[in-house]
């Protein structure tokens, strides 16, 4: 997983998974990507960065269940509790945390929980029922994908033991694309 330089093979696989050709009208463009990064004081990890700049910024033809959100959007079911999201502050987790079962894992669990939702990640989209996929943009897990639900947070990728897929945005999309016939039948 290279989060600093886009791999042309990964970009080709992403383009194919989302069924878009080069020059997609919905691509954000580099000027807008740089503006987003400057506003939020982050550098988006590759290959997601090049994906939104050159391929598409949001799509209904790929993961997750209700489509990939544009980089600055939140799902419709996102709770607006007036908490300010700060992408420049580090995402606080590096291991699975099921707060419903283990609320005493952290001394200040409520503060950590607020950070899980509001620090260091962009929301890629939702599978519904408050099951949201996040791309971590700051902190030790920069470039990794996490599933954050109303009961816990789980990192995506074989190194974490929850799937056999490669970690990161490209691995997440390739996992979805490999399982797409099953996904469409559900």
Indicate which CATH number applies to the domain containing 154. 3.40.1580
Each residue's pLDDT, cut to its tens digit, for the chain (186 residues) gives: 888 899 999 999 998 888 775 545 689 999 999 999 999 999 999 999 999 999 999 988 878 888 899 998 988 877 665 568 899 999 999 998 887 666 566 667 778 888 999 999 999 999 988 899 999 999 999 999 999 998 889 999 998 887 888 999 999 999 998 887 544 444
Total domains present in the chain: 1
The tokens describing 108, both together, are 């200040």
3 located within any domain? no
1 located within any domain? no
Predicted local confidence at residue 186, as pLDDT: 40
Predicted local confidence at residue 146, as pLDDT: 96
114 located within any domain? yes
116 located within any domain? yes
Question: What single string gives the DSSP state of each residue in the chain?
Answer: --SSS--HHHHHHHHHHTT--TT-TT---HHHHHHHHHHHT--PPTTHHHIIIII-SSBSSSSSTT-BPPTT---TT----SPPPBTTSPP--SS-B-TTT-TTSSTTHHHHHHHHHHBSEEEEEE-STT-EEEEE-SSTTTT-EEEE-SS-EEE-SGGGTS-SS-SHHHHHHHHHHHTHHHHHH-
41 located within any domain? yes
pTM above 0.75, yes or no: yes
Q: 19: domain range?
A: 8-185
119 located within any domain? yes
124 located within any domain? yes
């Amino acid at each position: 997983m290279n989060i600093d330089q886009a791999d042309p093979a990964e970009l080709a696989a992403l383009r194919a998974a989302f069924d878009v050709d080069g020059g997609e009208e919905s691509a954000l463009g580099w000027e807008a990507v740089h503006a987003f990064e400057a506003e939020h004081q982050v550098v988006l990890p590759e290959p997601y960065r090049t994906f939104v700049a050159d391929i598409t910024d949001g799509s209904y033809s790929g993961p997750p269940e209700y489509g990939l959100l544009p980089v600055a959007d939140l799902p419709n079911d996102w709770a607006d509790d007036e908490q300010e999201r700060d992408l420049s502050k580090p995402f606080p987790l590096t291991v699975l945390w099921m707060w419903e079962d283990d609320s005493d894992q952290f001394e200040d669990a409520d503060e950590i929980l607020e950070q899980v939702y509001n620090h260091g990640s962009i929301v890629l989209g939702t599978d519904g029922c408050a099951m949201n996929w996040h791309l971590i943009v700051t902190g030790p897990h920069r470039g990794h994908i996490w599933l954050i639900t109303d009961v816990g947070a789980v990192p995506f990728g074989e190194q974490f033991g929850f799937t056999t897929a490669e970690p990161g945005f490209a691995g997440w999309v390739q996992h979805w694309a490999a399982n797409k016939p099953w996904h469409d039948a559900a």
